[in-house]
Structure 1
Amino acid sequence: MAPNTIDFRPFEPPLPPGRARALPWATVLAASALTAVVPVVASLPLMPPLGLITLLTWRLLARFALRPWAAAPLGLFDDLVSGQPLGSAVLLWSLCFIAIDLIEQRLVFRDFWQDWLIATGAIAFCLALGRWIALPIGAHVDTMLLAQIMASVMLFPLSARLVAWIDRKRGPTS
């Protein structure tokens, strides 16, 4: 018989409210910075946008963890760290938040597969439009863009697992 793996401690003190509210912001900022800090030497640009994936995961799994306007300042930080044209992530991440709000008005209940599909569309949208904003039209990066989209989409379940664990550690104040 397997040991009980439930981590339920009803009398454990939760995080203070300020830290519990700051934790989603900190994880998105750390994921955006991680993309720029990690020394990856590759012949193909396949590094997924970790900040975007983390932001979408927080928005889809813990709806009220981030305010609707949070996409703009977090996108600005990502633009500053990643070297993308200033304002591109601000616009694209805000449009993703608006699209998710519109989808949530139609879908009353969602499961993980629908969240993954929504995240796939948002990631593909942001990477494709980010390519259109940052690179000239004649640049032949379409196959690398598809590979980056696929790598990012396959990373979403891991991000969902990590965000769910962090959200559970935040306590019932969320």
Structure 2
Amino acid sequence: MIDRHLYHVPRLGRNPSRFRLAGIPVITVMLGSTVTALPLIAQSPVMPPFGLLVLLSWRLLRPELWRAWIGLPLGLFDDMLSGQPIGSAMFLWTVMLMGVDAIEHRMIWRSYRQDWLIAGFAIIFCMAGGLFFTRITGGGDVRFLLVAPQMLWTILLFPFVVRQCARIDRWRVMA
């Protein structure tokens, strides 16, 4: 007869793998950026930038996770998939992350509402900046009012995305 307690592996004292700790947030941002590549036909922009939402969620949920330079490679990946001019998300995401860092260093404590407000300003900055880069590179004459509902929808979707990232984070740090 085999003794079953010999095969029990205790979970206490174990650490998750380094890939799980560092790779899962990057993979979720990249998966968020691939959502924009789904074949959705619409008269106006309606799909929120999920890569940006997931990046903001991770940054506000776990500030110690990334430095501001992470916006460069993740922004390049998003630019290649979304069709934006190359360098626009790289620049905007990096500047946005530096702005969030600056705000965070000035605040003693943050609440959920403050995170949502920070994310709202960051979303408006990145989407308006993307619209600006599209215009100056000759990508079309898209009006700000046409993109405004997409901005509002993205800001309203932020709490849901943060909650999903928190669930993934619990699994990520679990041994």
TM-score normalised by length of structure 1: 0.87
**Matched-pair contact (CA < 8 Å) for 1:48–1:148:** yes
Amino acid at match of 1:60: L
CA shift, 1:102, in A, is 0.7
The Cα of 1:170 is off from its aligned counterpart by 1.1
User: What is the one-letter code of the residue matched to 2:21?
Assistant: A
Q: Distance in 1 between matches of 2:65 and 2:18?
A: 12
Q: Provide the residue aligned with 2:166 in structure 1.
A: 164
2:131, 2:142 within 8 Å by CA — same for their partners in 1?
Answer: no
Matches within 5 A, 1:69-108: 69-108=69-108
Seen in structure 2, the aligned counterparts of structure 1 residues 14 and 43 have a Cα distance that, compared at 3 Å, is farther
In the alignment, which residue of structure 2 is the partner of 1:139? 141
Largest Rg, 1 or 2: 2
Q: 2:47 aligned with 1:53, yes or no?
A: no
Distance in 2, Cα, partners of 1:82 & 1:111 = 32
Contact 2:135 2:142 in 1 (8 A): no
Amino acid at match of 1:89: A
Tell me the percent identity: 41
Q: Per-residue deviation at 1:24?
A: 0.4
**Separation (CA, whole Å) in 2 of partners of 1:67 and 1:163:** 18
Aligned Cα root-mean-square deviation (Å): 2.1
> Is the Cα contact below 8 Å between 2:96 and 2:122 reproduced in 1?
yes
Q: Secondary structure at the match of 2:66?
A: coil
Match of 1:39 in 2: 39
Structure 2 gap segments, 5+ residues each: 1-10
Q: What TM-score do the two structures reach when normalised by structure 2?
A: 0.86
Aligned position for 2:128: 128
CA contact (8 A) 1:25 1:66 kept: no
Contact 1:32 1:49 in 2 (8 A): yes
Aligned residue type for 1:90: M
Which residue type is aligned with residue 142 of structure 1? F
The offset of 1:139, in angstroms, is 2.5
Letter in 1 for 2:166: A
Q: Which runs of 5+ in 1 are unaligned?
A: 1-9
- Answer yes or no: is 1:152 the counterpart of 2:151: no
Q: Given residue 34 of structure 1, which amino acid in structure 2 is its aligned partner?
A: V
SS of 1:135's equivalent? helix
State the distance in 2 between where 1:58 and 1:23 align: 11
Question: Matches of 2:73 and 2:150 in 1, distance apart?
Answer: 24
Whole-Å Cα distance in 2 between the matches of residues 28 and 60 of structure 1?
14
Number of residue equivalences: 164
